[in-house]
């Protein structure tokens, strides 16, 4: 299983989002996501997240929360464990042109569901915005680009 991280930089009423528009042959081309990437062999999930945020935004995160783990099962792409974080303190200003995969933008939380998102991302973004939601385990099953099943903490979700 591939190990990745995804972090949503939270400034209160919005998240820093990445619009994946720069790479050809990108499974997420045209989608909006948080910032993150693949874990290196010697990294913990939080070390990976900190490195990826720095590389993709120029920010040095100083306070974060490990919010959940998302298991992706796909008939098209490698299966993946994605470690999900939010961060609400950092040093610096985001470099909006630094990322070679897409364009960064602050998006109001109230407008997130209007974006071109993966269906599974809609589920975990709602969980992230629920401050009462404890750490969660989410399993998402995709056939091609269509989500066909989802389980939250072992319980099937209807969507």
Name the residue ranges covered by the structural domains of the chain. 2-156
- Can you list the alpha helix ranges (DSSP code H) found in 35-133? 45-57, 119-129
Residue among 101, 25, 11, 105 at smallest CA distance from 56: 101
* Sign of CA pseudo-dihedral 132, 137, 143, 144: positive
Answer yes or no: CATH 3.90.79.10 is held by domain 2-156: yes
In this prediction, residue 35 carries a pLDDT of 96
As a whole-number percent, the residues of the chain with pLDDT over 90 amount to: 81
pLDDT digits (tens, 9 = 90+) for 14-40: 999 999 887 777 778 889 999 999 999
Strand 155-156 vs strand 35-38: parallel, antiparallel, or unpaired? unpaired
H-helix or E-strand containing 70? strand 60-74
Q: Which helix (H) or strand (E) holds 104?
A: strand 102-108
């Amino acid at each position: 299983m591939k190990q990745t991280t995804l972090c949503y930089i939270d400034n209160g009423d919005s998240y820093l989002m990445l619009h994946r528009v720069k790479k050809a042959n990108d499974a997420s081309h045209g989608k909006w996501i948080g910032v993150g990437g693949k874990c290196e062999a010697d990294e913990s999930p939080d070390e990976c997240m900190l490195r990826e945020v720095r590389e993709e935004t120029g920010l040095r995160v100083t306070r974060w929360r490990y919010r959940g783990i998302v298991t992706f099962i796909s008939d098209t792409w490698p299966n993946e464990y994605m470690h999900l974080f939010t961060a609400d303190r950092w040093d610096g200003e985001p470099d909006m042109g630094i990322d070679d995969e897409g364009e960064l933008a602050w998006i109001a939380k109230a407008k997130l569901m209007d974006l071109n998102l993966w269906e599974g991302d809609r589920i975990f973004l709602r969980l992230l915005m629920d401050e009462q939601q404890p750490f969660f385990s989410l399993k998402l099953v995709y056939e091609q680009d269509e989500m066909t099943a989802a389980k939250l903490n072992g319980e099937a979700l209807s969507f």
